[in-house]
Amino acid sequence: MVDQLAVEYADQPVLFLENDVDRPLGRRLDRWWAGYGSSGSVYLPLSMASSGHVVSNGSVAFHSVYARLVDGELVRPPEGEVDAYSRRVGNAVRVYVRVVNGTGVALSAAANAATVHALVWEDKQVGVTGRMIRAAPFATIDAVVAPVGSYAVTLETAALAGVDWDKLHAVALVDYRPAGATGPFDMLQAGLAPASDLSATPASLAVKLHLGSPEERVGTVALRGPYVLSWTASTDALWLAVTPGTGAVPADATVRVVRDRLPTGVQLGHITFTATSADGLSFTRTVDVTVELTGPASRFRRRGAVRRTPLP
C-alpha cells in the first residue's frame, strides 16, 4: 500500500519511508508512541506523519486512512526551514543540517524536546516496501533557538554494511513537542539532503553602465551549500569588486564595479568563489561578469538635439 501511495503522490512533496519495528532506529518509534498518547497493545503496522502529529495502527482501510493523514499534513504550512546536504565518509553518511525556527516559541531540548534528525534510506526492496530506513542519527537542540533564529548541526550514521550506496538517500527534519515536556511531537519541516555542493547563482551577470552615472552595483550572487563551508571571493579584474569578500554559507555577495578603474567599452571579468570546510569539503565556482560602459546617461536626448553637459 505504501509503495502504491508513493506512486500516487509522486508529484507532491511527500516522502514515504519504512522502519523495521523490531530494530527501531534513532528516535522515530518514540515519536509514534508520543503521538499515540498511551501505552498498551497496538497492532502493526504503526504509521505516522510529521513525527507523530497524526498516527494510525492496525488493520485499517489503508489507502483511505493513510491518504487522509497525508492530505491533512499537506495543507499545513511549514513552521520552519530545513537546509540539508549529505556526504559519504568511509562507510558512513554525514548530513549537514541548518534549520530556521518558524514557530512563535523558542526551541530547545530542555523546553520542548526539540530535535534534529536525519533519515538515511535505501530505495530497495528490503522489507515490505522499496524504501527502508537504514539509519536515523539525531541530535537534540542544545541551545535556545528563538523564533526566526537558526541552528546548525552535523549528524553522522554508524558505518553502514550491506547497502547499495547508489540507492541511498537522506532527508533531514526538525521536530518538537508543542505542549512542552510531554505530549505528541510535531515536525516543523523536512528537507531532502542532496550530495554536498556549492552553488553560486546566477552563473553570469551583465550590466550596462553610463559614464557620469554613480551606479556601481552589478548584481548579487547567492552562495548555497553545507553550513560548514567558509568562502572567499577573488576577481581577475581591477574594476571588479565583491562585498563581502569572505564569509560563511549561506550568503548573498554583492558584485560592484570600481568606477575609477572601469575602462569604457565592454569588459569581461570573472569572480572565483572558493569554499572549504574543516572536514575536507572543497569547491570552486566561477561567475562571469560583463560590464559595458557607454556614453553619458541622458533622459532627454532626442534625435538632432545636442547636449554638452549631463543633466543632474
Give 69 or 242: the residue with its C-beta nearer to another protein.
69
Among 28, 87, 94, 169, binds another protein (CB under 8 A): 28
Give 65 or 179: the residue with its C-beta nearer to another protein.
65
- Return phi, psi of residue 180, to 5°: 115, -125
Of 64-72, 106-114, 137-145, 195-203, which part binds another protein (CB under 8 A)?
Answer: 64-72
Of 65-73, 86-94, 140-148, 242-250, which part binds another protein (CB under 8 A)?
Answer: 65-73
65 binds another protein (CB under 8 A): no
* H or E segment and range at residue 222: strand 217-224
Number of residues that bind another protein (CB under 8 A): 53
122 binds another protein (CB under 8 A): no
Least Å distance between CB 310 and another protein? 12
43 binds another protein (CB under 8 A): no
Among 26, 27, 34, 45, binds another protein (CB under 8 A): 45
| CA–CA gap between residue 28 and residue 35 (Å, rounded) | 11
End-to-end CA gap in the chain = 71
153 binds another protein (CB under 8 A): no
Q: Are strands 230-235 and 265-276 parallel, antiparallel or unpaired?
A: antiparallel
76 binds another protein (CB under 8 A): yes
Can you tell me whether residue 111 is helix, strand or coil?
helix
- Using a CB cutoff of 8 Å and minimum separation of 24, what contacts does 131-135 make? 131/2, 131/3, 131/6, 131/16, 131/17, 131/18, 132/17, 132/18, 132/19, 132/20, 133/17, 133/18, 133/19, 133/20, 133/25, 133/28, 134/25, 134/160, 134/163, 134/168, 135/25, 135/26, 135/93, 135/160
Can you tell me whether residue 223 is helix, strand or coil?
strand
| CA–CA gap between residue 293 and residue 238 (Å, rounded) | 15
Give 12 or 41: the residue with its C-beta nearer to another protein.
12
Of 28-36, 87-95, 177-185, 194-202, which part binds another protein (CB under 8 A)?
Answer: 28-36
Least Å distance between CB 233 and another protein? 28
**Per-residue x/- marks for another protein, 282-301, CB under 8 A?**
-----------------xx-
- In 3D, which of 148, 156, 149 has the Cα closest to residue 172? 156
Least Å distance between CB 215 and another protein? 18
Give 71 or 236: the residue with its C-beta nearer to another protein.
71
Partners of residue 275 on adjacent β-strands: 231, 283
101 binds another protein (CB under 8 A): no
Which grid coordinates are listed for 142? 542544545
**Per-residue x/- marks for another protein, 235-254, CB under 8 A?**
--------------------
Least Å distance between CB 297 and another protein? 13
- With a CB cutoff of 8 Å and minimum separation 6, the contacts of 145 are 99, 101, 106, 107, 108, 114, 151
Of 105-113, 124-132, 218-226, 269-277, which part binds another protein (CB under 8 A)?
Answer: 124-132
Peptide bond preceding 296: is omega within 30 degrees of 0, i.e. cis? no
Q: How many CB atoms lie within 10 A of CB 39?
A: 7
Binding site for another protein (CB under 8 A): 2, 5, 12-22, 24, 28-29, 32, 44-51, 66, 69-70, 73-74, 76-78, 81-82, 119, 126-129, 133, 171, 173, 187, 189-192, 299-300, 305, 307, 311
